[in-house]
Amino acid sequence: MNWQQLVQQICSGDIKSLARAISLVENEYADYHSLLKLLPGPGIATITGITGPPGAGKSTLVDALVGLLVNEQKKCAVLCIDPSSPFKKGALLGDRIRMSEWYNHPNVFIRSLATRGSLGGLHPKIIEITDIIKAAPFDHIIIETVGVGQSEVEIASLADTTVVVLVPEAGDEIQTMKAGLMEVADIFVVNKADRPGADLFIKNLRTMLTPDFHRQAAPIIKSIAPARLGIQELLEKIIQHESMSAGNGKKEQLLTEKGYQLIQRIRMKDIDRQQLQQQLEKAATEKGFNLYAFIDAHYH
């Protein structure tokens, strides 16, 4: 495999080479780390994470954002993190039908990735795949998460701007969201804002977002994604947030978090889950079994 040539083709904007490189990394092709080590420094593209509960209209919102960017002659890549099929571990692509008009557009690259059982709700190789895309000449990268588990918090460690999409019916859920979701959101979008109770929901949300000493309260935008209402304001807020966060150390924090996760993965690469299960099944039958003592003896 000529990794140098593949990287050059990605940097020149060759979409087939980009798609191939993502597949090689996703499937852990032999020596794929050589490709990663040849990647140039990050390009101009910024990463926007779109997250929130299922049914909030994230795909329709992303579709509308892509339309705006295309109209402004911008190049954008979209990573859609989907729930894994329980049978084949592939992505379930039902939601992507909404974005079908962009699949063959020369300025848009769309890729669906399965979570593959990742507890955080993102793809286990999301860092590497994102860095490959950043090597290509895109202006914007949008990552839409599956919206379950800790994906909302996890996307915040990867994205320059985290957009949390909610709907008016989520009013009863706000209190349970506060611990994680409220802290990571840079921008809130209340989608389907033509539904009853939208204004009261926004009022309650704003009350909870009282600014602290460390950061301003995240802006709240009303949108009706199918009608493209509120999308222009959302794009303006995303661009504004990116310019404001340029000198506040967030990029360094993101880089540190990515480095930490990569090191953690390297340290864990010799741990075989199936082998661990077999060892535990045997050890658990012994009298006085203690999980902490077992781990200390075998893996410390």
β-bridge mates for residue 110, sequence order: 78
Q: Which helix (H) or strand (E) holds 222?
A: strand 220-222
Rounded-to-integer distance, Cα 81 and Cα 133, Å? 15
β-bridge mates for residue 144, sequence order: 50, 80
- For residue 181, the model assigns a pLDDT of 65
Q: Which amino acid, 244?
A: M
List of residues 6+ apart from 54 with CB closer than 8 A:
146, 147, 148
Residue numbers in the chain where pLDDT is lower than 50: 85-92, 94-95, 117, 119-120, 149, 213
Helices vs strands, H then E, count in the chain: 13, 7
Cβ atoms of 170 and 202 closer than 8 Å: no
For 139-289, where are the alpha helices, taking DSSP H only?
Answer: 151-156, 174-177, 183-184, 198-208, 231-244, 250-268, 273-283
- For residue 176, the model assigns a pLDDT of 59
In the block, tokens 């009022």 appear at 203
Rounded-to-integer distance, Cα 196 and Cα 23, Å? 44
pLDDT tens profile 106-153: 999 999 887 654 544 567 788 899 999 999 999 999 999 866 545 556
Q: Which amino acid, 74?
A: K
Lay out the sheet containing 220-222: strands in order across.
108-114, 76-82, 140-144, 46-51, 161-166, 187-190, 220-222
β-bridge mates for residue 46, sequence order: 140
Rounded-to-integer distance, Cα 2 and Cα 264, Å? 29
Considering the entire predicted model, what is its pTM? 0.83
- Backbone torsions φ then ψ of 148, nearest 5 degrees: -130, 165
- For residue 35, the model assigns a pLDDT of 94
